[in-house]
Amino acid sequence: MSPEARRWADLRRQIVFRTKRLNVGHLVEADQRYGRRDALGPHGVMLFFVSAAPTEPHGYRLHTAYRLWLASPEADDLPRLLGELADIAAENVARCTATGDRWHPLGPHRSMVNGGDMSPPVGAVYVGVGVTTLDTDQGRWHQVARTLRDAPPGGRRLSAFDLKGQCYALLTDGTALHVDRNPHARLGVDGIRCTRTLDPDRIIHYNPHHDLTEQGDQHTREVWRALGSLHTVLAAHLLPRERP
């Protein structure tokens, strides 16, 4: 396998790790702020960039910026949230193009993010967009969060660390990946589904997730479509001729 293919496989693994870590942080912060005026919504968006790093094993360093929303009825609808963000990004691109300026989703003007690595090195290249969500098959976040505060009769009280989370990501090499973060998963079950390999040395004759964005229920497919719209806008605006 070529060095570029190995670099992309490594990047996918790093993004899996990064999305899981951010999802846990999202969960802990949302749990701590639950019921307060500054309560967090169940969804967030992640932007991935890479910069040259000759001392790293594959010659790059991953940077992740994110945006979380305060809890509100509007912030509960993930496909709508992503669709509106795509529209805002497209408007920012058009407005700045008309005035001869250069818009960037990390700012300093009309920034799309409010946390993470918002100041990567000059020349950092956009490689993808992702979602962190606290809505899972355990239930919607607001429903599940209430159960953490209920005293089960004769049972063990759950904590935030018992709850699942989900992440979606689309990368500029065509990768789509989904992470089902389950703290109680059986040994060997990583919850990762990806359209492309995470292990460049493993020979795969058939990938059941090759059409991942068309799998799942209607809501899941709507999330993929809305995330794809945002990714298309950002990639068209930010992607250089040469990919990392």
Contacts 24+ apart (CB under 8 A), 95-103: 103/237
Q: How far is CA 226 from the centre of its chain?
A: 13
For the chain, counts of helices (H) and of strands (E): 4, 7
Q: Residue 109's pLDDT is what?
A: 86
The CA distance from 158 to 205, in Å, is 41
pLDDT (0 to 100) of residue 244: 42
φ, ψ at 27 (rounded to 5°): -60, -50
Token readout for 108 is 């300093």
What's residue 243's pLDDT?
46
> What ranges in the chain are assigned the alpha helix state H?
3-32, 78-99, 141-147, 218-238
> How many whole angstroms separate alpha carbon 29 and alpha carbon 206?
39
Specify the pLDDT at position 154: 63
pLDDT value, residue 200: 83
Q: Which residues of the chain have pLDDT under 70?
A: 151-155, 240-244
H or E segment to which residue 61 belongs: strand 60-70
Two structure tokens written together for 224: 């993929």
| pLDDT score recorded for residue 242 | 47
Helical segments of 33-155, H only = 78-99, 141-147
Distances (CA, A) of 106 to 29, 168, 209: 22, 20, 31
- Please tell me the pTM assigned to this model: 0.93
pLDDT tens digit sequence for 28-78? 999 999 999 999 999 999 999 999 999 999 999 999 999 999 999 999 999
Q: Are 22 and 66 in contact (CB under 8 A)?
A: yes
At residue 52, φ and ψ (nearest 5 deg) are -65, 135
